[in-house]
Amino acid sequence: MNNLQVVIDAGHGGSDSGAVSSSGVREKDLTLMISQYMYEEFQKRGVPVTLIRNTDETISPTERVQRILAAYGDNPNVVIISNHINAAGSGIQGAEGAEVIYALRNDDTLASNILTALGNAGQTMRKVYQRRYPSDTSKDYYFIHRNTGSQTQPVIVEYGFIDNPEDLARIQANYKEYVDAVVDAVIATANGQTIPSGQGGNYYTVKSGDSLWSI
């Protein structure tokens, strides 16, 4: 990706709180905090960047997509980062860690770099994946993937689980480190680089030639 341009989507907002922790922390507030800092960091690195919402604003899916595409158009240099906080839901205890979801039209390079970078920053890494629309598996499940053109590179970044108090505390304490990791991963991908796995996280992807001893 030459001439990188970034669109940051702070998930939810306004009347849509997103997930809410047992202590009352709202996803929409965390995603705005994360996105505002991310915007500043891309600016510092000289990357053209647009923030879709900068306040606690209700935005419909249609309006969100319109704002995204209005920023830099539909081209392969545009990376769309939709920031979210996960929730496991009732009856599920202890889910933790980051996930990155990428569009059917893209390969997993960007998403994998982001997840590896988050792991290097100390967050547990869960998975990189795509999700298909049940009634039409040729389409993406999430509108942020499905409706944002045919060439852009949208990713949904789930930084952890809001309904896991320990994971939530990690996000609140370390969100700047996590954002720095995502920014570095996006720029590295644009430059054709792969983020090497460091000591952070607890996830390892086996590569060709690996042995149990070397791992």
pLDDT tens-digit readout, 64-86: 999 999 999 999 999 999 999 99
Instruction: Render pLDDT for 5-56 as a digit per residue (tens, 0 to 9).
Output: 999 999 999 999 999 999 999 999 999 999 999 999 999 999 999 999 999 9
Residue 208: pLDDT over 70 = no
Output the pTM of the full model.
Answer: 0.90
* Torsion sign (Cα): 140, 68, 163, 16: negative
Q: Is 154 helix (H, G, I), strand (E, B) or coil?
A: strand
Determine what percent of the chain is predicted with pLDDT higher than 70.
90
Over 50: is that where the pLDDT of 205 sits? no
d(CA 166, CA 160): 10
**Is pLDDT at 212 greater than 50 in this prediction?**
no
Q: What is the pLDDT of residues 135-148, one digit of tens each?
A: 999 999 999 999 99
Residues ≥6 apart with Cβ < 8 Å to 174: 121, 122, 123
Asked if residues 6 and 47 have their Cβ atoms less than 8 Å apart, the reply is: yes
* DSSP H or E stretch at residue 36: helix 27-44
Q: Give me the pLDDT at residue 204, please.
A: 39
